[in-house]
Amino acid sequence: MFRSLLAATLLLATPALAQQQAPSALGTFQDWTAATYRESGQLVCYAFTRAQQAGGVAGREAETVLLLVTHRRGARDQVAVRPGFAFAAGADGTLVIGESRHAFFTAADTAFGRDSAALVAAMRAGRDAVFRAPGPAGRGETDDRFSLMGFTASYNAISRACPP
């Protein structure tokens, strides 16, 4: 059951990569899950959570909206949001954690954090996060809410599995 959930999540998170190898669970930490998989022979470690609420854009289910942090060789702390739709070209987003606001740029159906170090620090210290970005084709704005409970433990798990 857990492996099929991880495989389905990986399919949502990275469709082309999910066909390469099934993910291997590192553990579930409150609202976050940590796992690994191999991409072109290299170990990739990631932690993710599903939105507690996917608001602002009709037709989305919270379980399809993801907040992820990924470690790859040469690229650590990649923070991304998958909102369940493709962004308009040039769209920007913001992740609000407590009093801090963190800028995201978009590409296709993923938003990427611009300052990974600041994002990870805020996520480690925060309790929840809200992602806001323009919806598809100008249809509203996202209001996706994520729990950060368990983020630090899941981040530590992926950092141990994929050391710098």
Could you report the per-residue pLDDT of 17-67, keeping only the tens digit for each?
Answer: 444 678 999 999 999 999 999 999 999 999 999 999 999 888 888 899 999
Cα-Cα-Cα-Cα torsion 11, 15, 20, 26, nearest 10 degrees, comes to -40
Q: What is the per-residue pLDDT for 21?
A: 78
- Alpha helices by DSSP H, listed for the chain, are 2-13, 15-18, 116-125, 151-161
Could you report the per-residue pLDDT of 79-92, keeping only the tens digit for each?
Answer: 999 999 999 999 99
Q: What is the per-residue pLDDT for 110?
A: 97
Token digits of residue 117: 């170090």
Judge whether residue 15 has pLDDT over 50: no
Could you report the per-residue pLDDT of 105-120, keeping only the tens digit for each?
Answer: 999 999 999 999 999 9
CATH of the domain at 12: 2.60.40.1880
Does residue 95 sit in helix, strand or coil? strand
State the distance between the two ends of the chain, measured CA to CA, in whole angstroms: 31
What's the chain's average pLDDT? 88
Please give the residue range of the domain that contains residue 73: 2-161
More confident residue, 84 or 9: 84
Q: What is the per-residue pLDDT for 158?
A: 98
- Across the beta sheet with 53-55, the strand order is 24-29, 32-39, 42-50, 66-72, 75-82, 110-113, 100-107, 92-97, 128-132, 143-147, 53-55
Q: Which range among 1-15, 32-46, 66-80 shows the weakest confidence by mean pLDDT? A: 1-15
